[in-house]
Structure 1
């Protein structure tokens, strides 16, 4: 009976995944899954509709800040395209000789640095996608057919998550560390070498992939940019995304070098610890002010109102689909957590684990599974985080120092399997956001969620190596990353068995 009950609790997840994989829009799949989750919660746990509603509202409240960041991110992406920020970066890259073969690697490293500085993968992707998606189009007009577009897209998506997993000001880093009771700086120090190792492997693999794909190595002159875009595409952009036309014209005609300053300001302010909203807001404001001197915006006439309208359109673009969808998915996660759908998995972990490493490996798998079930990294962190903490504390005997290392690994599990794991789950809200931004800034290609998985080597290496190093004990070769081993730590059930 218990097995049947546990199986029934997972039916909403199966439905959500099935609908998404079959091609249904998230605004259909998520509400239907919520309805099924409410029914299952009532049948299995006797939860009332009000109980489910309260759980949904609480879950949505956990991502309210993220939703506001999302709206600002859309506005900043539009501002960077319209005012010349994106064009200045593209022109600098072209002058340095960036080609289709090196664009993805360059994007990976730039977004990794920017995400550490800003602490937000969403803001980083929003800031860099209008730059690198159009840069790869310029250096390779055949980017859709050659694969360079998706290689670059996956590179900046993975790089944007780098800082969200290790940044001192990242919300996921802070929350996951706080739940496990460890200091953020200790988290960053313990996983620093491993994180850089994953980034290095991803950069090498991305470059190898570019070579294998046979991407062109020829340099491109900015003067031929508009000629590389078909007239039908220009007509479409003029109707759907006029800011993209502004960016292409600025690249071809040139734009003042100082228009790169807004992007630099965002990075510098983040490094010194300024709030994410202030960083993104500064980028939007400085783009307007400097654009007035560069001639891309205007201080007089309707210039300010036009700029405000553009920002308003950015808010509307985010709210018309992405935010509504994310609220439904967060509501789904809240109900799944309220019915304690993970309890059978927790009990199974304790039962099948024969040593501490196996138990910790299972904690990592549970974090990844929870992210797939809840389809939201923050919902996973706040829902599964306390579960893996309880599993470790109630089943592991260790000194205070060794137990702290266990907690550090749990914090890394929650964050890494949330942020990087989201890149590998087709129905995850992360990928919906990325797809929404990508289509918004580069509407010449209809991005699907799975497009962000195909070449996302950063996420693949992070998830795979974290689990492999944990289960094999090879983490001892990574400075500061080693888990304590038996007999310094042991499972309490083993200790009782030995005593008997």
Structure 2
């Protein structure tokens, strides 16, 4: 997100503010976890940790206060950052309004009503995937489905750890592919590509893992007893906004139009069915905005910090060191995946990991001609793999929290087949270009930073 026309002189000291940011965020999580605090890595607000990093940048980096402030503001106001933040707000509003008018409940109940009883495990994976891809949040999908999944597992004699793993796998599948997920927004904006193009690359990486996972769940997830599947209340009309957003976004309509249309479509349905009034509709739009404030502030502050560090030579220093280990395009892709994976393992937040590594990945793309649509998919995919595997991540902690201590994350991790297969798929795609159909059809035009039609 910096100016590539003039490369600054490499300066390792310029990375210290970023190190401060990550150290505070990681350190607070480790300290709180050692004290037994629930969701320890999510207690210290990431924007505050980033702000401390910004203060460190003002203290450490060379230049006058006014020069450093101008650099910081230029980064905060970067076009990609502003677009990213605007999309976050709209995605939050769409999710909040759609949930308030009953969209999430109708979608879950629709799936549960029509799942054949002997396909419960596969059905839970599919429902979790659809909820997550529709709402853009794996945590939301897990929170909505897990209580029902636990009840079904108990009635049918299913393995509870495997049932939880199916829900988590489906949720991460949807989060990785959703066009309104904060990870997708961060990955595409930092790499400068369209969300629909990233989806078209990403789906060929994720689909094989999902299909094999469903086959395994069908084989090993058969219930001991066939439970009587009840009919749940649902309204198919309330599912339409999710389908609208997904389809229209993939067609290529501007994301601002897509999300604004989704918000008003959900609002109209809510008004017609009496779930919303004009007042509660507006309140839920605002609630959706406020739900995204943390990631909004983090993106803005990180954009400012990244610009300061870049101008001071920090990113150039890091790139020069990374390039000593990179020999070509394939190793560059693996390097991007390794960086975002290690960062996610450190901060337990896949969006934060993408935002931190996005500028580095963009520079590696330019140097080794890695297509930005592919780097966006790699960033999102590797961050989702690790976010869905680490025992201290929000997904596994919330998932196992519903069992009230009966199941630990470590009992679920070996059964997270989707995440493991996704790792195999994305690494294999670096050597066998089975996911590069769009890239071959529409090569990236490096001179004007776009895909050729």
* Shorter-chain TM-score tier: 0.5 to 0.7
* Equivalent runs, 1:144-159 vs 2, <5 Å: 146-147=160-161, 150-159=164-173
- 1:383-431 CA-to-partner distances (Å, cap 9, x unmatched) read 644533433433x4xxxxxx5x745533432343455555456788xx4
Instruction: Tell me by how many angstroms 1:199 deviates.
Output: 1.6
Distance in 2 (alpha carbons) for counterparts of 1:449 and 1:287: 39
Of 84, 94, 97, which residue of structure 1 is paired with 2:117?
Answer: 97
Aligned position for 1:239: none
Of 227, 230, 233, which residue of structure 2 is paired with 1:219?
Answer: 227
Distance in 1 (alpha carbons) for counterparts of 2:194 and 2:346: 28
Distance in 2 (alpha carbons) for counterparts of 1:328 and 1:177: 18
Which consecutive unaligned segments of at least 5 residues does structure 1 have?
Answer: 223-250, 298-303, 397-402, 485-500
Of 223, 236, 254, which residue of structure 2 is paired with 1:260?
Answer: 236
Aligned position for 1:106: 123
* Equivalent runs, 1:64-213 vs 2, <5 Å: 64-80=86-102, 86-93=108-115, 96-97=116-117, 102-112=119-129, 118=134, 121-122=136-137, 126=140, 132-141=145-154, 146-147=160-161, 150-164=164-178, 190=201, 192-206=203-217, 210=221
TM-score (norm 2): 0.66
Distance in 1 (alpha carbons) for counterparts of 2:127 and 2:298: 30
Which consecutive unaligned segments of at least 5 residues does structure 2 have?
Answer: 1-9, 441-453
1:195 match: secondary structure: helix
Of 344, 369, 379, which residue of structure 2 is paired with 1:414?
Answer: 379
Instruction: Tell me by how many angstroms 1:87 deviates.
Output: 4.0
Work out the number of aligned pairs and report it.
Answer: 405
Aligned position for 1:387: 360
Distance in 1 (alpha carbons) for counterparts of 2:323 and 2:241: 49
Query: CA separation of 1:9/1:380 partners in 2, compared to 1, >3 Å: closer, same or farther?
Result: closer
Contact 1:136 1:149 in 2 (8 A): yes
Contact 2:238 2:266 in 1 (8 A): yes
Structure possessing the higher relative contact order (Cα contacts under 8 Å, 6 or more residues apart): 2
Instruction: Tell me by how many angstroms 1:37 deviates.
Output: 1.0
Instruction: Tell me by how many angstroms 1:97 deviates.
Output: 1.9
2:227 match: secondary structure: coil
Distance in 2 (alpha carbons) for counterparts of 1:112 and 1:162: 10
Contact 2:121 2:217 in 1 (8 A): yes
Of 9, 21, 34, which residue of structure 1 is paired with 2:50?
Answer: 34
Instruction: Tell me by how many angstroms 1:466 deviates.
Output: 2.0
Do residues 363 (structure 1) and 376 (structure 2) align? Answer: no
Instruction: Tell me by how many angstroms 1:92 deviates.
Output: 3.4
TM-score (norm 1): 0.61
Distance in 1 (alpha carbons) for counterparts of 2:329 and 2:351: 26
Considering only aligned residues, what root-mean-square deviation do their CA atoms show, in Å?
A: 5.1
Contact 2:87 2:185 in 1 (8 A): no
Structure with bigger gyration radius: 1
Distance in 2 (alpha carbons) for counterparts of 1:198 and 1:155: 10
